[in-house]
């Protein structure tokens, strides 16, 4: 490996000790087993979450695990792993201390809103510690001890975070000193002081992580942090979370999933965006960390498998070329001693790799691990090792850009009264995946620098936009770029203040009439008025399809055209529908040289929740029409369970196409059955009049015939069950 070893493909396994019999565990044997599985990095437990703060090395500062005696697992792992050319990262949990530490320093503990310490379980074996206390200095001294005495190749800092309000004396004092206000005691998403509090929490954790980075960073050593559950929330309905905040004693009556959440997070936080709970400012921390690491245990937040890929796309944008590492499920949660079935593990690895990221699995019970699942992981890791050269120096093929607005998420997504931008984004992404359209997830800061590289921009309920961002979008469309926007896009400034007019009203071709049309039931339909337009030509004229719910009431002007309008809801379910309200629900416009589609309703959220084919088709046709160009890559005879991604390797003049059979709706139960698909045709747009290309199918190393015609190359994949990589290069077969 080169000096910066983390810039080559990573296949990582976390070696967890809390569930093992540490007195009997043969650490060297486990390392040899991990080497056999094809991993090239071990993330070894050094400071644990349970028992809180327990050291798995001979520390003179931290409390050693009670069964450690003279044993030094960290030293043994480093020695054995380096014999197998495996890098070793020290896992340091930054959050949890033990009962003894708490009793000695009660002022170090994070505090819930009610002033109680945040504990993992009633015996105080693990107590959450506050980074704004002197606990920070204590932890930094431990990091320094490891850094100076062990030949580790990196540090992974887990849960450098808040997991509570935190209402401790240190936080109250610091907030008042820095902000000049009392630390808030209740959520109020319309209060500027509350938003100062949210930003302050982000800043506290970012500064904590910077101090950890500086203390541990050395040449040829990778430093990275946990970023838990981006683009996700706890799966609790907003009304229920409000009730539980008022009556936390009811949480124990609502099942194991809720108990699992509230064991670590106070009930007052359950409706927050999860990175907001942790104080995890992904964009700020990505500026200095070496690897972007996501913890994505999908069952915990009831997200589908393809969520891994959307997060990977987000990570690639945030990192600006830094590696993206994804910790995903190996155990069949909540039964983590038992592996997930082969089908899910194969698809998970395929989904991660297909989106330009690196896979990481945790071995929770190394002495009694379920070998069935680990053999599947080993098979995939071994195959990937053979094809490392196709997994680096990747730049996505540009077509569509979906904007993730952190401003909008922070301002509105934790408010139970608002439609979440993140969920609208997820629904749009699902539709694009199923329709095999290439897209990146980009950030606000990329608009100025990168937007011109795309054919079409998608704004899924991007409520908060600055004047500068709106102007960038105007210029993009005016110069020929496409735009698709939904719901409250540009209705608020960058601070979340509502505007009298939709900020991009001139681009959409609409005027806002100052109020919303509330939709109270699912008996709400729109009627197609024009099916001659490419966006709606797949529908019959006067067809009724479900609306996207509550929407702002707008009126078109200039050349903008309404393709459908809202029908009034019936009085009760199954009663006759009401009259045509005339309120537009699909609007198309020409702005300068560019095409625009505006859905005033939250069609992305509707599609995420219900998966109606008409909504998927409308989203996809809107994107294709607005782009106003041929697709760079398309597929035929390809079901909507298959995801398509594509990357360029510029230095090799090589195209890497991935297909993975991962688009499933499972959110709690594992994926247990996958059908093989046959003769999928891939069509690639190329510049040559008489193109000559060659293609190779990975992992089979089989040559694929390429048929060239003016401006395009086609090839067929004979069979696909889990995932395939197609490598396409210019020239005849070698």
Q: Which of 158-167, 257-266, 494-503 has the lowest mean pLDDT?
A: 257-266
The neighbouring-strand residues paired with 683 are 634, 714
Residue-wise pLDDT for 498-534, tens only, equals 999 999 999 999 999 999 999 988 889 999 999 999 9
Region 275-287: mean pLDDT is: 97
668 within 8 A of 650, measured Cβ to Cβ: no
d(CA 615, CA 612): 5
d(CA 227, CA 160): 9
344 within 8 A of 670, measured Cβ to Cβ: yes
> Is the confidence at residue 438, as pLDDT, over 90?
yes
Q: Which of 213-227, 263-277, 672-686 has the lowest mean pLDDT?
A: 263-277
pLDDT for the residue numbered 245: 58
CB atoms within 10 A of CB 16: 22
> Is the confidence at residue 262, as pLDDT, over 70?
no
> Is the confidence at residue 544, as pLDDT, over 80?
yes
- Torsion (CA) 271, 273, 279, 281 in degrees, nearest 10: -170
To the question of pTM greater than 0.75 for the whole model, the response is yes
5-393 against 400-627: fold identical: no
Handedness of CA 205, 206, 211, 217 (dihedral sign): positive
> Is the confidence at residue 716, as pLDDT, over 90?
yes
> Is the confidence at residue 417, as pLDDT, over 90?
no
For the chain, what percent of residues have pLDDT higher than 70?
96
> Is the confidence at residue 336, as pLDDT, over 90?
no
- At residue 734 the predicted structure's pLDDT band, cuts being 50, 70 and 90, is low
643 within 8 A of 663, measured Cβ to Cβ: yes
pLDDT for the residue numbered 197: 97
The domain segmentation of the chain, as residue ranges, is 5-393, 400-627, 633-730
Q: Which of 169-173, 554-558, 687-691 has the lowest mean pLDDT?
A: 687-691
> Is the confidence at residue 160, as pLDDT, over 50?
yes
pLDDT for the residue numbered 11: 98
pLDDT for the residue numbered 249: 57
pLDDT for the residue numbered 1: 42
> Is the confidence at residue 248, as pLDDT, over 90?
no
Residue 581 C-alpha from the chain's centroid: 39
- At residue 261 the predicted structure's pLDDT band, cuts being 50, 70 and 90, is low
Q: What is the largest CA-CA distance in the chain?
A: 80
- What integer best gives the mean pLDDT of the chain? 94
> Is the confidence at residue 247, as pLDDT, over 60?
yes
Q: Where are the beta strands (DSSP E) in 104-251?
A: 127-128, 154-158, 222-228
pLDDT for the residue numbered 368: 87
473 within 8 A of 508, measured Cβ to Cβ: no
d(CA 290, CA 293): 9
Kindly give, in sequence order, each residue whose CB lies less than 8 Å from that of residue 108, ignoring residues fewer than 6 positions away: 97, 101, 102, 129, 130, 133, 134, 135, 138
d(CA 212, CA 207): 9
Instruction: List the CATH code of the domain at 633-730.
Output: 2.60.40.1180
Q: Which CATH class is domain 400-627?
A: alpha beta
Q: Which of 199-208, 472-481, 573-582 has the lowest mean pLDDT?
A: 573-582
Residue-wise pLDDT for 120-158, tens only, equals 999 999 999 999 999 999 999 999 999 999 999 999 999
Q: Which helix (H) or strand (E) holds 592?
A: none
pLDDT for the residue numbered 733: 66
Residue-wise pLDDT for 441-480, tens only, equals 999 999 999 999 999 999 999 999 999 999 999 999 999 9
d(CA 315, CA 447): 16
Kindly give, in sequence order, each residue whose CB lies less than 8 Å from that of residue 215, ignoring residues fewer than 6 positions away: 140, 143, 144, 147
Region 227-254: mean pLDDT is: 72
551 within 8 A of 565, measured Cβ to Cβ: no
584 within 8 A of 565, measured Cβ to Cβ: yes
Residue-wise pLDDT for 51-90, tens only, equals 999 999 999 999 999 999 999 999 999 999 999 999 999 9
> Is the confidence at residue 243, as pLDDT, over 70?
no
Overall fold of domain 5-393: TIM Barrel (3.20.20)
453 within 8 A of 396, measured Cβ to Cβ: no
């Amino acid at each position: 490996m080169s000096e910066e070893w983390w810039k080559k493909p990573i296949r990582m396994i976390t070696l967890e000790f809390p569930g093992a019999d540490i007195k009997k565990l043969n650490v060297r044997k486990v390392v040899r087993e991990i080497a056999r599985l094809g991993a090239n990095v071990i993330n070894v437990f050094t400071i644990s979450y349970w028992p809180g703060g327990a050291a798995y090395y001979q520390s003179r500062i931290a409390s050693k695990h009670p069964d450690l005696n003279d044993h030094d697992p960290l030293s043994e792992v480093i020695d054995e792993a380096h014999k197998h050319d495996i890098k070793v990262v020290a896992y340091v949990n930054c959050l949890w201390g033990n009962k003894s530490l708490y009793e000695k320093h009660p002022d170090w503990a994070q505090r819930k809103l009610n002033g109680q310490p945040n504990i993992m379980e009633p015996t105080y074996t693990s107590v959450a510690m506050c980074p704004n206390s002197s606990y920070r200095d204590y932890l930094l001294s431990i990091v320094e001890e490891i850094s100076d005495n062990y030949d580790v190749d990196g540090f992974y800092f887990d849960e450098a975070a808040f997991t509570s309000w935190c209402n401790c004396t240190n936080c109250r004092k610091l907030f008042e000193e820095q902000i000049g206000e009392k630390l808030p005691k209740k959520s109020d998403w319309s209060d500027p002081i509350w938003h100062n509090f949210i930003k302050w929490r982000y800043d506290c954790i970012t500064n904590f992580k910077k101090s950890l980075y500086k203390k541990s960073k050395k040449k040829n050593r990778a430093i990275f942090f946990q970023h838990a559950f981006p683009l996700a929330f706890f799966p609790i309905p907003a009304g229920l979370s409000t009730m539980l905040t008022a009556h936390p004693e009811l949480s124990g009556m609502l099942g194991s999933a809720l108990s699992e959440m509230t064991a670590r997070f106070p009930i007052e936080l359950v409706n927050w965006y999860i990175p907001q709970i942790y104080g995890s400012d992904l964009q700020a921390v990505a500026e200095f960390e070496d690897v972007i690491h996501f913890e994505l245990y999908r069952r915990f937040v009831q997200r589908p498998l393809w969520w891994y890929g959307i997060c990977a796309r987000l990570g690639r944008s945030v990192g600006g070329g830094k590696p993206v590492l994804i910790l995903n499920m190996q155990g069949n949660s909540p039964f983590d001693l038992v592996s997930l079935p082969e089908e899910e593990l194969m698809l998970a690895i395929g989904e991660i790799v297909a989106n330009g990221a690196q896979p990481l699995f945790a071995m929770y019970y190394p002495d009694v691990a379920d070998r069935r699942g680990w053999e599947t992981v080993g098979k995939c890791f071994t195959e990937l090792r053979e094809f490392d050269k196709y997994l680096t120096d990747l730049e996505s093929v540009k077509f569509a850009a979906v904007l993730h607005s952190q401003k909008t998420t922070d301002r509105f997504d934790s408010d139970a009264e608002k439609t979440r931008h993140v969920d609208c984004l997820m629904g749009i992404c699902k539709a694009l995946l199923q329709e095999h359209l290439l897209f990146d997830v980009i950030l606000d800061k990329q608009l100025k620098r990168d937007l011109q590289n795309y054919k079409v921009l998608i704004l899924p309920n991007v409520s908060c936009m600055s004047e500068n961002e709106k102007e960038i979008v105007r210029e993009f469309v005016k110069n020929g770029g496409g735009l698709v926007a939904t719901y409250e896009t540009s209705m608020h400034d960058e601070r979340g203040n509502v505007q009298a007019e939709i900020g991009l009203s001139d681009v959409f071709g609409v005027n806002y009439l100052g109020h919303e049309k509330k939709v109270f039931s699912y008996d709400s339909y729109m009627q197609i008025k024009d099916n001659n337009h490419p966006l709606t030509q797949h529908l019959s004229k006067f067809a009724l399809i479900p609306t996207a719910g509550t929407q702002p009431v707008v009126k078109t002007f200039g050349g903008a055209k309404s393709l459908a309008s809202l029908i009034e809801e019936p009085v009760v379910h199954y009663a006759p529908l009401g009259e045509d309200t005339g309120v537009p629900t699909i609007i198309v416009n020409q702005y300068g040289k560019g095409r625009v589609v505006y859905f005033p309703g939250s069609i992305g959220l509707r599609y995420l929740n219900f998966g109606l084919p008409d909504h998927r088709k409308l989203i996809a046709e809107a994107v294709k029409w607005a782009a106003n160009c041929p697709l760079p890559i398309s597929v035929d005879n390809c079901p909507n369970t298959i995801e398509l991604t594509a990357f360029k390797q510029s230095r090799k003049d090589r195209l890497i196409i991935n297909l993975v059979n991962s688009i499933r709706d499972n959110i709690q139960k594992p994926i247990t059955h996958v059908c093989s698909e046959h003769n999928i045709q891939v069509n690639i747009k190329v510049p040559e009049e008489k193109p000559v290309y060659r293609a190779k199918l990975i992992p089979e190393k089989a040559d694929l015939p390429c048929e060239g015609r003016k401006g395009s190359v086609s090839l067929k994949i004979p069979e696909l069950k889990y995932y395939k990589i197609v490598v396409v290069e210019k020239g005849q077969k070698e």
